Structure 1
Amino acid sequence: MDLLTKITSILVVLIAIGFTIFTNYPAPPISPIMYQWQTWGSYLTFKQFKIFYIDKQINNGTKTLLCLHGFPTSSFDYFKAYPFLIKSFDRIVFIDFLGMGYSDKPTLHSYSIMEQADIVQSVINHIGLDDFHILAHDYGDTVTQEILARIRDDGLNLKIKSVSMMNGGVFPSIHSPLVIQKLLHLPVIGYLLGKLNNKYTFAINLNRVFGSGTSPTMAEFYNFWAIVRHNHGYRVFGDILAYLDERFEHEDRWVSAMKNTKIPLQFIYGPSDPVNPPPFDVMYHKLIYNPYFDKLDENIGHYPHFEAPEEVVKRLNLFLQKKGL
């Protein structure tokens, strides 16, 4: 065996050992605020999977809000908005989608928007949710589009009083996924990249979608990562990203549902968003009849409810007031 072969063999062994250690390190401990969020929650069994949700009754009134989160994070995204939301709503419900947050994260599973919509319906039925508003973000916007389509096209009987969306790729033709999202979606490369994800690479990539001066602190990135890392969620990123293809496959159904819904519809938009760049607002006004579109300050990016939580709730309240809701 020549020297080059020996060196190559040693390098392969070292890389294999490093990969094994790197991809099997323990999950980080959760912070007190994350612990509180988790203790608020309950679990619903959907098929064989556990779905995490929070059902907070704040006051004795009936004004109810259902919050749906984005990819790749969780309902915890709303923790900054929560103190402002409880001033306006009597009951707030949060759901962690399958594969994210504190819900189960099965591997070798065919994740789909259709199934996530089924999960939302199951939680709604389980807790007896009626006459409620929806506040959705990103991935949650797409799930909401499917729910609207079911109401319009399939006769689904849900009493949704209003829908407010934030920075979701509801128009696939102008949606610009990050390079890392495209790579994670690839069959083999995506699997390896998912396994190699860590809090530093996660923070670097997630930080790209925030606006100028609105990035999370390292402690906040740590919280996001800890929830992603829970039950090895980072390993199923590539599988969940199948929704990028679904958006094109069901574009007509989902865009039409927004265009033709009779439910009052609002879009709250952070313009400093690389995955939904400024042509988005032009497209929205072009396609949506009588649009109610709230464009935030230029420095707000992809996570408006995290970057400007008080302003988002203010815009939500103004929308509901103008609609008499």
Structure 2
Amino acid sequence: MSSDHAAFVEHRISRGEGKVYARDYAGSGPAFVLMHGFPDNLHIWDDLIPFLVASGRRVVTFDFLGFGASDKPAGATYSFKQQLGDLEAVVEGLGLGKIVPVAHDSSGMATLNYALAHPGGVDSAIMLNSAYSEDSTVLWPEMITLFATRSMQALSIAIAQSPEQFGWLLKWQQKKFLDPLPEAQRPHFSAFIGPLISDNFIAQPGAGPAFVQLAAEFFDEHARNAKHLTALKTLDIPVKLIWGQYDPYFPVAMAERRQSQLKNASLAVIPAGHWLQADEPAQVAKAMLS
């Protein structure tokens, strides 16, 4: 099952330095707006979309600037603030009105900050294994930590510029996500998620510059978001936390902590990994639609 079997309209939405690529699947609102983390793109949702579309819901997915089929302008500045702006541009450009932002991985930042900035523009929010404002006890993927640690910048940039070293690091990191998965889920991960991430960097122009800039800002963004936690506690909208339990870096404890920071949050745990929408799409769709 792939989203190519569900009809969508393609859009290129003007956004400062370039255009954002979006796919709009017809259905009734409020639209699910599915976002990706780094170093991913909109294809992480391909297995899930047919289930959502079959339920009659409108679904929009897009690539953040610098990733996937969106523009990757030379010398562009990439940031979490820019990603929030990409989401705002998509909502405005497609006239979506009230939405359900759906986060995965680092797009937890854009999701909750959009809800805080546009409380009337969000029907509810959904977060799949995603970050927002975590404390320093969290052990992030080593590849992210390497690129996010300022004192390691010379080393990380050197690795990024060596296809051989960078390729090795990517494979090593993917194995760390793969190993805890149930046996039955591993082949799809290896055939689908692994290549999707590698191609992001290898196919040129790649997502390397966007990844490097966002990773460099990753820890700072957590600190900035910590200042929003008081406001977050007063947010009235329902937030569904849908979590893959075999994620070695975004554990269920992270979801439980997030739940405690929100006024109206529920938690559903799925027997899947970090990319639970690809591991168990039917279960994720059921939790989203319940």
TM-score bracket relative to the smaller structure:
0.7 to 0.9
CA change 1:250–1:235 in 2 (3 A) is closer
Tell me which amino acid in the other structure corresponds to 1:312: V
CA change 1:200–1:218 in 2 (3 A) is farther
97, 100, 103: which one aligns with 2:70:
103
**TM superposition shift of 1:257:** 4.3
Matched, 1:206 2:168: no
Superposition map of 1:111-260 within 5 A: 111-151=78-118, 158-173=120-135, 174-185=137-148, 186-197=152-163, 201-210=169-178, 211-213=180-182, 214-215=185-186, 216-220=188-192, 221-230=194-203, 231-260=205-234
CA change 1:243–1:159 in 2 (3 A) is same
CA change 1:246–1:301 in 2 (3 A) is same
Tell me which amino acid in the other structure corresponds to 1:64: A
Percent of pairs identical after alignment? 19
TM-score normalised by length of structure 2? 0.84
The CA distance in 2 between the partners of 1:34 and 1:237, in whole Å, is 25
SS at match of 1:240: helix
Superposition map of 1:22-61 within 5 A: 41-57=10-26, 59=27, 61=28
SS at match of 1:73: coil
The CA distance in 1 between the partners of 2:238 and 2:170, in whole Å, is 36
Tell me which amino acid in the other structure corresponds to 2:253: P
CA RMSD of aligned residues (A): 2.7
Matched, 1:301 2:270: no
**TM superposition shift of 1:88:** 2.1
SS at match of 1:208: helix
Q: What residue ranges of structure 2 are gaps of 5+ in the alignment?
A: none
TM-score normalised by length of structure 1? 0.75
Deviations 1:23-78 (A, max 9, x none): xxxxxxxxxx79999x9533122112121111121x4x344211111111011100
Task: Say how many residue pairs are matched.
Answer: 276
The CA distance in 2 between the partners of 1:98 and 1:143, in whole Å, is 13
Query: Contact 1:102–1:227 at 8 Å: present in 2 too?
Result: no
Structure 1 segments, 4+ long, off by >4 Å, are 33-37, 197-201
**TM superposition shift of 1:313:** 0.6
Matched, 1:79 2:52: no
**TM superposition shift of 1:195:** 2.5
CA change 1:239–1:278 in 2 (3 A) is same
